[in-house]
Amino acid sequence: MAEPIPSILDDQARNTIGAALQATLVDLIDLSLEAKQAHWNLVGRQFRDVHEHLDELVDVARKYSDQVAERAAAVGVPPDGRTATVAGQSGIPAFNEGWVKDRDVIRQISESVDVAVRRIRPRIQETETADLVTQDLFIEISRQLEQTRWMWQAQNAGYQAEQPAR
Amino acid sequence: MAEPIPSILDDQARNTIGAALQATLVDLIDLSLEAKQAHWNLVGRQFRDVHEHLDELVDVARKYSDQVAERAAAVGVPPDGRTATVAGQSGIPAFNEGWVKDRDVIRQISESVDVAVRRIRPRIQETETADLVTQDLFIEISRQLEQTRWMWQAQNAGYQAEQPAR
Amino acid sequence: MAEPIPSILDDQARNTIGAALQATLVDLIDLSLEAKQAHWNLVGRQFRDVHEHLDELVDVARKYSDQVAERAAAVGVPPDGRTATVAGQSGIPAFNEGWVKDRDVIRQISESVDVAVRRIRPRIQETETADLVTQDLFIEISRQLEQTRWMWQAQNAGYQAEQPAR
Amino acid sequence: MAEPIPSILDDQARNTIGAALQATLVDLIDLSLEAKQAHWNLVGRQFRDVHEHLDELVDVARKYSDQVAERAAAVGVPPDGRTATVAGQSGIPAFNEGWVKDRDVIRQISESVDVAVRRIRPRIQETETADLVTQDLFIEISRQLEQTRWMWQAQNAGYQAEQPAR
Amino acid sequence: MAEPIPSILDDQARNTIGAALQATLVDLIDLSLEAKQAHWNLVGRQFRDVHEHLDELVDVARKYSDQVAERAAAVGVPPDGRTATVAGQSGIPAFNEGWVKDRDVIRQISESVDVAVRRIRPRIQETETADLVTQDLFIEISRQLEQTRWMWQAQNAGYQAEQPAR
Amino acid sequence: MAEPIPSILDDQARNTIGAALQATLVDLIDLSLEAKQAHWNLVGRQFRDVHEHLDELVDVARKYSDQVAERAAAVGVPPDGRTATVAGQSGIPAFNEGWVKDRDVIRQISESVDVAVRRIRPRIQETETADLVTQDLFIEISRQLEQTRWMWQAQNAGYQAEQPAR
Amino acid sequence: MAEPIPSILDDQARNTIGAALQATLVDLIDLSLEAKQAHWNLVGRQFRDVHEHLDELVDVARKYSDQVAERAAAVGVPPDGRTATVAGQSGIPAFNEGWVKDRDVIRQISESVDVAVRRIRPRIQETETADLVTQDLFIEISRQLEQTRWMWQAQNAGYQAEQPAR
Amino acid sequence: MAEPIPSILDDQARNTIGAALQATLVDLIDLSLEAKQAHWNLVGRQFRDVHEHLDELVDVARKYSDQVAERAAAVGVPPDGRTATVAGQSGIPAFNEGWVKDRDVIRQISESVDVAVRRIRPRIQETETADLVTQDLFIEISRQLEQTRWMWQAQNAGYQAEQPAR
Amino acid sequence: MAEPIPSILDDQARNTIGAALQATLVDLIDLSLEAKQAHWNLVGRQFRDVHEHLDELVDVARKYSDQVAERAAAVGVPPDGRTATVAGQSGIPAFNEGWVKDRDVIRQISESVDVAVRRIRPRIQETETADLVTQDLFIEISRQLEQTRWMWQAQNAGYQAEQPAR
Amino acid sequence: MAEPIPSILDDQARNTIGAALQATLVDLIDLSLEAKQAHWNLVGRQFRDVHEHLDELVDVARKYSDQVAERAAAVGVPPDGRTATVAGQSGIPAFNEGWVKDRDVIRQISESVDVAVRRIRPRIQETETADLVTQDLFIEISRQLEQTRWMWQAQNAGYQAEQPAR
Amino acid sequence: MAEPIPSILDDQARNTIGAALQATLVDLIDLSLEAKQAHWNLVGRQFRDVHEHLDELVDVARKYSDQVAERAAAVGVPPDGRTATVAGQSGIPAFNEGWVKDRDVIRQISESVDVAVRRIRPRIQETETADLVTQDLFIEISRQLEQTRWMWQAQNAGYQAEQPAR
Amino acid sequence: MAEPIPSILDDQARNTIGAALQATLVDLIDLSLEAKQAHWNLVGRQFRDVHEHLDELVDVARKYSDQVAERAAAVGVPPDGRTATVAGQSGIPAFNEGWVKDRDVIRQISESVDVAVRRIRPRIQETETADLVTQDLFIEISRQLEQTRWMWQAQNAGYQAEQPAR
């Protein structure tokens, strides 16, 4: 079926926007699965607090993966969020297998959120010429994810500070 | 880290239960991603109705993937719901790439839900000796998924009935 | 139209399950109409309390008649809850015509709930081999209806105890 | 028990009003059961949309059957909504047995709602002299049911228009 | 201050409507105070049930006293709901002083609601020529109050039936 | 497309009812746009209070324009609420361009609501023979709009009383 | 019926407390009726704002009249809130008949709230020896009513300040 | 672990306050368990009404046991609400074993609430010098429990009045 | 009345911004009226689904017409959303008179939303120099409307694909 | 009073079921009191997190103690949840007196939940023959409590892992 | 403690962004305290309306002070919102001491909001190169505050217009 | 403007009360700003838990600063909560600049709440003669703040206990 959703963008802009959105989509889906994996395999004295914090991250990642995919559809690009595609294209670091200690969960999740932030940020610039509307979505996602990043870093900082003492 | 969650089951029961839960977990996560994929790539005159119906399936698949994973943790088996694991172990049929017509979405989703149901059902028997508590979870999931299966089949039946006329 | 909903059960199991669900469906619909009849025709000093209690019974009976019918559809058996069918097949005792005193309402409803309980209970055994998922629904309905039965009996007991004094 | 609720109407008015309410009560209960029957036995590509629409009709029919019965009680006439009475007195056309296609459900329900409307409307005139308060209830029910009738007809019209093409 | 709200009715109609509304206003305010008095002074084994039922009557009486007064203002007649006016004009029977037994509360409130109903009903006829909009309000109040009346009578009937036995 | 919604009224009644509803529809839509215009262009020390009051009027006008249009459809008359039709047929006085002082907003809106009331009232009589159900809708709209009219007049009266002093 | 609620206070304390509560009860009921009277008969440019403010006063007066009456019952004194009693015992100044301008409403209500405050305050001292629990209720009512008093005075002050200029 | 919560009270005041709170804590916990016991073992024609009333008492007793215990902690005294302590220190009368008739439940609960009230009241005086903040909590509990006591007594009075007749 | 709202923009910027907002305002109001017209005049087998979808479009159009008008006021330009102005200035295509089939409704609404999107998009560029705050509002509206456009197009595509077959 | 609730089970089954439910009831009540005790006496850097987690355990224990007791009543066995009975029959380990450190609270509560789980699990087998409905309740409680147990163990594991370092 | 939150911005950008956010933070906190001060010290005939309007301003100022401070943290700059810092750095004009008339409150608050708007606006430009994400927050704050400014100005305009007449 | 709110207290009482309220007001506002400062600048492994706990303290401090200020107004004393006044008069200890570790945040906040408690407590005595109503507010604030103090101390105690080990 060819072009059921005629794009409001010209071909070049559509390609630029489509690529940026697709790359973000797989990162966010992968981040949501990783946060759930951590949510289930966590152990440690901070268990309940971190367990709940991870579900907030799941909510953020799910909400924006949905908006990113629907934005792709809106500009005429079919999004691809199938499991194999996500496994193949995601830039989020892999998560350890099995039970993971709270200290390590906090460090790994801080890093994954940091990677997500650093991969999405440049797309704000890349999409500026092609489509200000999509750019605005990247700005909104960055604002939310950078707030999330700060919170995990602030928590992680405590562990790093204590590490020599252990 | 060895055995932070000492199992209430003996080793054999734990292995049986752990395997059944892990297999269900990857199916349900994959089903949730597939339903989202369809939710975004759907076109056709039934668009809005099917678009919303798919989100109800996403909710069901997410809810039970969470319960299945937490049940695994509760019996001392760390669940694995990471993207690569899901991509490698899921038994749910792959979904087409790109835009998909409502008729085809309904058929594919009907089949995927049917496959999920047929894979989970035998686990009710398999777990009966090992752990009645986990069995009860499989019964609950089957009851919910079989209701979902009926709804998609009832909708699909309409398309099949019309097909010769087209 | 033949078999729009292919059953996940073999033919014998489907017949067993279909018959048990159909028999339960008509009982529950009839019970809901009887409770409404009592709700409207009640008189007596306990009026308001019993009037409200009857609506709680209506809610229970409606909720489970819906679940029973949808379970039948889910196993490929079209449920029959039409008025004439209910009138012909229900096993719930008939309710008196016209105004009914609270004492008599409580006694009649206690009996009708007791009958419903005694008719549904054996179906838990009958369906065990054919379909554990449907059995689980019968267990849930029994748990709810037996709680309801206790409450009406506890209230009825008060009247019986007072009866000689009247 | 004679006359626990002394009527505010004279005997003739009470008879007129009582008869009109009783006839409406059985129609509305029967309509609610028929809509549930359709809700469960429906198949076709419009499945989910019509499935939900039918539950809205169930809600309307239940709400007004309750108000009609309580109005009868309020004017001193005990309402009769027992299953056998409904089966014997209802004027709503019978519904087909077994699975029913969406096209046919929409046609049958449109007809049943139309019949209900055409049976209730004359009661507005019939009750004008006897009791303006009851008349007002018939006007309210007509307003609601005629809106419902329009929606089902508007949907049915689409099928009729397409019929030659099939 | 003369006529800040110019009436949409001619003078005669306004007088008719104003008088009917004023008479209803004082009855409803008095009924609300009487129901509160009973709510506070009630004793007896039905205490809690009747205590709550009385507050439902207070809600009904307050809701319609507000609507009646605002309807008067809307047709250009200043309503008078001051305590002394209510005490002087109300047609509701006086309530006993001090503690009152549930049996007696139910009988007195049944009578007061019955009086209110019998005083408001004729105003439906009286206002028909003058203003159909105000008539519609009287019909609505009657419908509500007559339902309330039935409930209290149904409860009262139980006491009367038992009385010889006591 | 001819007559998808067969009317329950005869031709003459349908014409009468259709005309009354169409005339009311355009008035109410126009009133809703005028109230929004005032909501945006208002200045004066009563700004916030009047700004919010206008949105309550918008809600009333929108709610009843919807009910009026759906009633027309229910009796088989397609309603016409398109902008050009409203601009051509509305009987509501035009509103001033640009910023408007609170005193003037209150006066103009009072007048517009008064005009709407005076145009709708006669339709209660005109529709009595043709359709009591539609008449009931006009009575309900009049009751609501006349309450609204009183509130704006009561506020306007304050300004008129002060005017000589200014 | 003698003493169904045996008091936890001795006779003297009960008399003191009963008198203080009864005097407060009639004031609060009267205040609630007066605020409603003002709510209905108000005219003036502040109409909507004052109209809503009066309903907040009604809520306060009703809430505490209920608590005061139930406290009386709790200490074994049957409260008397019947219309004639309120008319005879209330210390709240009478309210003008007919339409009242916002300026005058604000002044009169300010005075009535001020009177209520000044009558309740001494009861805090009077009840200290007899019952600290009832005293606590008087303190709570004073705190709420004195806040209310401030708001009406702050609004009234604006009118007084403007008065010479008018 | 010595003194993790340094008291804001001097030692003598802390002892006084701690003792009063501890004594109240065990009474309230015991009262909540007793009300639940009655809630489960009740039979009689008032079943549903009393069953619900008892759960309201449970809510009150649980709410204040929590506040009392946390107040103890706040003044540096560790509260003791363990089962054995409650069993050993409570002053609430024991409740009968097995099924209990509504008449007897109402009498026993009235007495238990009365005992609780009579034990808590003197603590208002005892704590006045030591800590006005804790005293205020005792006043609030007394106000709530004395209202509860009135309601149960008012219901109990009905049974006592009827007793000779039975 | 000259300039009650002194602009924060210089005159040229204010003119640019004012013109862009005014043009958007009339489009959005017209779109909301057109969607309501379609909501009422729709017929076809997709009736209920499209009927509800249209109300979601009404909500979007109303929400942003309000924000656009208030933004104009905030920069000192009085918005004009009066019926005649909307009829004269709107760029949205006119909608057919009378009943309209679902197929045609979906096509016409898709086109109207497409036109609205294509008219608003350039204003993002036009306002960039004059006022980034207003530009941000145009970006937000475009994001929402382009999502809406995709949904209607996805549904419309189904009809176009089927058209040859009919 | 003998047998107000005639059992649906034969005597032997009733005895088996009654004993299993009674043993569970006292454990759950004791667990709820122990969790509250910990909630109040907790100190340590995890204070707030554990304080809240304990209240979730209280909710679980209270919810199921209620269901267990009502199931006993439903099968005709009067449950005994009085304080002295709980103190005498509970199998939950005693909790330390006075302030308790978070580390110790987590360890003790983990153990108590573990004991509760290990005592309830066998009752699933014991009740299978006697009553599948009660068995289902034990399965549900086990599922919930075993999830709770995992969470406390996961938190506890963190402390144990750190212990050598301290 | 050095750099617990490593910035995603380079040093220069971080300094620019940090300074802009810090300056905005103190303005918004000061504005929230000033609005509260006015909320408490207001007198005049518009009392209630302005009193409530000020709390809406408090909500806006608090919401954005929180977002601004958290954005600073997110880019690695510790925000300073301590009282002394706010007192020293805020650019919002000081508010009068003691009671203030509504006319003067409206004028002063209009000016303070205007100042806040004029100080924040340039930061949109200043931050464009350094960080588009922070710029987007300044745009959002400006949009909200400029809407607030319009409302206060529209109200203020009324007073200014009337001033000569007074 | 002199005395718009005539006090219900004599001059001496008003001075006493006014001074106590003003001193409390500045403490509570300062405490709310300090808690927000900590909320933003916190780092450490307890980050999320303490971050949320601080917002609960902000809510408490804001709620009571509002009640304290409005009580001052109610007794005729204009409250002063302007930033400079708070900075000059507050007795709450200053908070560190920049990022602060969780351990230090918990210690500093514990101290600040402790200071607030110790400054407010004596005002309960000071105001007893002058105004029992204001005293009651101080008692309520103390009860709430002392509960808050306990929670922070209980958390702080954990850190102190661990300190030697670090």
Report pLDDT digits (tens) over I54-69: 999 999 999 999 999 9
Q: Which residue of chain H has the CA closest to C154?
A: H43
Position F1 scores a pLDDT of 52
* Least confident range of C150-164, D129-143, L117-131: C150-164
% pLDDT > 90, chain A? 92
What digits encode the pLDDT tens for the residues K70-106?
Answer: 999 999 999 999 999 999 999 999 999 999 999 999 9
ipTM of the complex: 0.96
Pick from E33, E140, E155: nearest CA to E104: E155
Which subunits count as partners of chain L given 3+ CB pairs below 8 Å? A, G, H, J, K
Does the pLDDT at position I165 exceed 50?
no
Q: Residue D85 domain-assigned? A: no
- Beta strand pairing call for G42-43 and E42-43: unpaired
Q: How far apart are CA J18 and CA J79, in angstroms?
A: 8
Residues of F in contact with I93 (CB under 8 A): none
Pick from C107, C49, C150, C59: nearest CA to H48: C49
% pLDDT > 90, chain G? 92
- What DSSP character marks residue I39? H
Contact D143 F132 (CB under 8 A): no
Kindly state the average pLDDT of the residues G64-92: 98
Kindly state the average pLDDT of the residues L89-96: 98
Position B154 scores a pLDDT of 97
Residues of D in contact with F2 (CB under 8 A): none
- How far is residue K75 from each of residues A53, A148, K18, measured CA to CA in Å? 21, 12, 8
Position A1 scores a pLDDT of 52
Q: How far apart are CA A146 and CA E46, in angstroms?
A: 62
Q: Hey, CA dihedral for K159, K160, K163, L2, is it positive or negative?
A: positive
Residues of D in contact with E149 (CB under 8 A): 8, 74
Q: G6 exposed, middle or buried (CB, 10 Å; 0-12, 13-18, 19+)?
A: exposed
What digits encode the pLDDT tens for the residues A72-130?
Answer: 999 999 999 999 999 999 999 999 999 999 999 999 999 999 999 999 999 999 999 99
Q: Which two tokens stand for residue L87?
A: 């900075």
Q: Which two tokens stand for residue E47?
A: 């205490």
Q: Which residues pair with I43 in a beta bridge?
A: I101
- CA distance between the termini of chain A: 61
Q: Hey, CA dihedral for C140, C146, C149, C155, is it positive or negative?
A: negative
What digits encode the pLDDT tens for the residues K18-69?
Answer: 999 999 999 999 999 999 999 999 999 999 999 999 999 999 999 999 999 9
Q: Is L81 helix (H, G, I), strand (E, B) or coil?
A: coil
Contact C158 H43 (CB under 8 A): yes
Confidence of residue E158 (pLDDT cuts 50, 70, 90): confident
Non-local (6+) Cβ contacts of G105 within 8 A are: G38, G42, G44, G50, G54
Q: Residue B20 domain-assigned? A: yes
User: Residue E43 CA to chain centroid, in angstroms?
Assistant: 24
Q: How far apart are CA F144 and CA L26, in angstroms?
A: 49
Contact G143 L136 (CB under 8 A): yes
Q: What is the mean pLDDT of chain K?
A: 95
Residues of K in contact with L34 (CB under 8 A): 82-83
Q: Residue D87 domain-assigned? A: no
What digits encode the pLDDT tens for the residues H3-56?
Answer: 889 999 999 999 999 999 999 999 999 999 999 999 999 999 999 999 999 999
User: Residue H28 CA to chain centroid, in angstroms?
Assistant: 3
Torsion of CA E96, E98, E100, E106, to 10 degrees: 40
Q: Which two tokens stand for residue C120?
A: 């549904």
Does the pLDDT at position G165 exceed 70?
no
What digits encode the pLDDT tens for the residues A4-56?
Answer: 899 999 999 999 999 999 999 999 999 999 999 999 999 999 999 999 999 99
- Per the document, the length of chain B is 166
Q: How far apart are CA K2 and CA B68, in angstroms?
A: 43
Q: Residue G91 domain-assigned? A: no
Q: How far apart are CA D51 and CA D36, in angstroms?
A: 9
Which subunits count as partners of chain E given 3+ CB pairs below 8 Å? C, D, F, G, H
Q: Which residue of chain I has the CA closest to K141?
A: I133
Torsion of CA K109, K110, K112, K116, to 10 degrees: 130
Q: Under a CB-based contact definition with an 8 Å cutoff, are residues B139 and C136 in contact? A: yes
Q: What is the mean pLDDT of chain B?
A: 95
- CA distance between the termini of chain C: 61
Q: How far apart are CA K59 and CA K65, in angstroms?
A: 10
Which subunits count as partners of chain H given 3+ CB pairs below 8 Å? C, E, G, J, L
Does the pLDDT at position H110 exceed 50?
yes
Q: Residue L114 domain-assigned? A: yes
- J89's enclosing H/E stretch is helix J83-89
Q: Which residues pair with A107 in a beta bridge?
A: none
Q: Residue K88 domain-assigned? A: no
Q: Hey, CA dihedral for C135, C136, C140, C141, is it positive or negative?
A: negative
Contact B150 C4 (CB under 8 A): no
Q: Which of D1, D4, D8 sits opposite E146 (nearest CB)?
A: D8
Position K164 scores a pLDDT of 45
Position K162 scores a pLDDT of 67
The set of long-range contacts for I17-21, using a CB threshold of 8 Å and a minimum separation of 24, is I17/I72, I17/I75, I17/I77, I17/I127, I17/I130, I17/I131, I17/I134, I18/I72, I18/I75, I18/I77, I20/I123, I20/I126, I20/I127, I20/I134, I20/I138, I21/I68, I21/I69, I21/I71, I21/I72, I21/I75, I21/I77, I21/I79, I21/I134
Q: Which of L5, L132, L137 sits opposite G150 (nearest CB)?
A: L5
- B12 vs K159, residue with greater confidence: B12
Confidence of residue A163 (pLDDT cuts 50, 70, 90): low
Confidence of residue L152 (pLDDT cuts 50, 70, 90): very high
Q: Residue K72's domain is classified under what CATH number?
A: 1.20.1260.10
Q: Which two tokens stand for residue E91?
A: 């047609």
Q: Which two tokens stand for residue A62?
A: 């799910």
What digits encode the pLDDT tens for the residues D109-119?
Answer: 999 999 999 99
Q: How far apart are CA I66 and CA K147, in angstroms?
A: 12
- What DSSP character marks residue A130? T
Position A166 scores a pLDDT of 39
What digits encode the pLDDT tens for the residues F6-43?
Answer: 999 999 999 999 999 999 999 999 999 999 999 999 99
E&G contacts, CB < 8 Å: 98
Judged by phi (left if over 0) then psi (alpha if -120 to 50, else beta), residue B3 lies in: left
Contact A78 B90 (CB under 8 A): no
What digits encode the pLDDT tens for the residues I97-141?
Answer: 999 999 999 999 999 999 999 999 999 999 999 999 999 999 999
- Rounded to a whole number of angstroms, the distance from the CA of H125 to the nearest CA of chain L is 16
User: Which residue segment(s) compose the domain that K33 sits in?
Assistant: 11-80+97-159
Q: Hey, CA dihedral for J131, J133, J137, J143, is it positive or negative?
A: positive
Q: Is D42 helix (H, G, I), strand (E, B) or coil?
A: strand
> What pTM was estimated for this model as a whole?
0.97
Pick from G72, H151, H44: nearest CA to E43: H151
Position B164 scores a pLDDT of 45
Position A145 scores a pLDDT of 98
Q: Is A2 helix (H, G, I), strand (E, B) or coil?
A: coil
Residues of D in contact with I51 (CB under 8 A): 151
Position G164 scores a pLDDT of 45
Pick from J146, H102, J68: nearest CA to C159: H102
Pick from C72, G128, J55, G33: nearest CA to D37: C72
Contact L133 G117 (CB under 8 A): no
Confidence of residue C159 (pLDDT cuts 50, 70, 90): confident
Contact I155 B47 (CB under 8 A): yes
Q: Which residue of chain A has the CA closest to I152?
A: A5
Q: Hey, CA dihedral for K16, K21, K22, K26, is it positive or negative?
A: positive
Residue type for F7, please? S
What digits encode the pLDDT tens for the residues J50-101?
Answer: 999 999 999 999 999 999 999 999 999 999 999 999 999 999 999 999 999 9
**The tokens 């008397």 sit on which residue?**
G80
Q: Which residue of chain F has the CA closest to K44?
A: F45
Q: How far apart are CA E80 and CA G34, in angstroms?
A: 10
Q: Centre a 10 Å sphere on the Cβ of residue B100 and count the other Cβ atoms it contains.
A: 23
Contact F45 K165 (CB under 8 A): no
- CA distance between the termini of chain G: 61
Contact J73 C143 (CB under 8 A): no
What digits encode the pLDDT tens for the residues G136-148?
Answer: 999 999 999 999 9
Q: What is the mean pLDDT of chain C?
A: 95
Q: How far apart are CA K141 and CA K147, in angstroms?
A: 10
What digits encode the pLDDT tens for the residues E43-80?
Answer: 999 999 999 999 999 999 999 999 999 999 999 999 99
Position F163 scores a pLDDT of 53
Pick from G100, G96, G112, G97: nearest CA to G46: G100
Residues of F in contact with I30 (CB under 8 A): 83
What digits encode the pLDDT tens for the residues D64-83?
Answer: 999 999 999 999 999 999 99
Which subunits count as partners of chain J given 3+ CB pairs below 8 Å? A, B, C, H, L
Contact J8 C157 (CB under 8 A): no
Q: What are the two backbone dihedrals, phi and then psi, of residue A88, each rounded to the nearest 5 degrees?
A: -80, -30
Q: B157 exposed, middle or buried (CB, 10 Å; 0-12, 13-18, 19+)?
A: buried
Q: Centre a 10 Å sphere on the Cβ of residue H96 and count the other Cβ atoms it contains.
A: 14
Pick from C96, C30, C100: nearest CA to D86: C30
Residues of L in contact with J46 (CB under 8 A): 46, 49, 155, 158
Position K165 scores a pLDDT of 40
G&L contacts, CB < 8 Å: 39
Contact C133 B139 (CB under 8 A): yes
- How far is residue I152 from each of residues A5, B118, E77, measured CA to CA in Å? 10, 36, 53
Position C163 scores a pLDDT of 53
Q: What is the mean pLDDT of chain E?
A: 95
Residue ranges of alpha helices (H) inside chain C are: 11-41, 47-74, 83-89, 102-126, 132-162
Residues of A in contact with I136 (CB under 8 A): 136
Residues of K in contact with A149 (CB under 8 A): 8, 74
Confidence of residue G162 (pLDDT cuts 50, 70, 90): low
Q: How far apart are CA C67 and CA C81, in angstroms?
A: 12
Residues of L in contact with H6 (CB under 8 A): 153
Position A165 scores a pLDDT of 40
Q: How far apart are CA J40 and CA J107, in angstroms?
A: 16
Confidence of residue K158 (pLDDT cuts 50, 70, 90): confident
The set of long-range contacts for G79-82, using a CB threshold of 8 Å and a minimum separation of 24, is G79/E37, G79/E40, G79/E41, G79/G21, G79/G22, G79/G25, G80/E37, G80/E97, G80/G22, G80/G25, G80/G26, G81/E33, G81/E36, G81/E37, G81/E40, G81/G25, G81/G26, G81/G29, G82/E33, G82/E34, G82/E37, G82/E94, G82/E95, G82/E97
Position L67 scores a pLDDT of 98
Domains: count for chain G: 1
Q: Residue E60 domain-assigned? A: yes
Q: Which residue of chain H has the CA closest to L157?
A: H4
Position F166 scores a pLDDT of 39
Kindly state the average pLDDT of the residues B65-91: 98
- How far is residue J109 from each of residues B5, J26, J34, J53, L61, measured CA to CA in Å? 15, 17, 8, 11, 34
Q: Residue D165 domain-assigned? A: no
- Rounded to a whole number of angstroms, the distance from the CA of D147 to the nearest CA of chain I is 11
